[in-house]
Amino acid sequence: MIVKAALAKLRITEIPTTLSRDGRNRPPHLRTWRDGWRHLRFLLLFSPRWLFLYPGMTLLSLGIVMQYLLHRGGLTIGTIGLDIHTMLYTAAMSIIGLQMVWFAIFSKVYGISAGFLPKDNKTDKILKFLTLERGVILGCLLFLVGLGLSVRAISSWASEHFGALDPREIMRLAIPAVTFILAGSEIVLASFFLSVLQIDRKDET
């Protein structure tokens, strides 16, 4: 009731009450951990922003910033040195963050279509901007950037007659290249899936 009232933007007030001890002579039927998790799971499923969007945006932003800094060279914070190994993990952060952002959009669209989340103008504006064509173009551009970085890395390898290379130098090209290729591919596929989720809504309009 609280979730539905909040989604409908109804006024919610708290009224003090006095509880009395249960007079029935049987053990309590509530289970703390099971029922607590069911309650938390229910709240999270009705809030894609807190479940997917905000954590995803945090991971995506942090991953992009860290990759940019480490692409330019090693980074030292106090006595801690960060290099290509950290860069690899920040690439994973970026991809996971991007996936979570897409999951937030998917959950919102499905929730509205299923009727347990209300329609809102902000979501409609985002969906009008995130068209299939724009997603495919953006994804292909990112894929081409990754492909270009890959060609550059292979050229560096060829200049050394395909011999051993300094990992710290070549991985600063390889890691962003793979990240761009994965991100571009994911955006293209996610754009198609988002269009599938909107088929009924498009028919209605």
Q: pLDDT per residue over 137-177, tens digit each?
A: 999 999 999 999 999 989 888 887 788 777 878 888 899 99
Task: Give, for 34, the enclosing helix (H) or strand (E).
Answer: helix 32-45
Is residue 201 predicted with pLDDT exceeding 70?
Answer: no
Q: Which helix (H) or strand (E) holds 58?
A: helix 54-71
Comparing 32-46, 57-71, 143-157, the range with the smallest average pLDDT is 32-46
- Residue 75, φ and ψ in degrees, nearest 5: -125, 130
Map out the domains of the chain as residue ranges: 41-204
What average pLDDT does the chain have? 86
Q: Alpha-carbon torsion 114, 116, 121, 122, what sign? A: negative
Q: Is 184 within 8 Å of 140 (Cβ atoms)? A: yes
DSSP string, 65-96: HHHHHHHTS-EEETTEEE-HHHHHHHHHHHHH
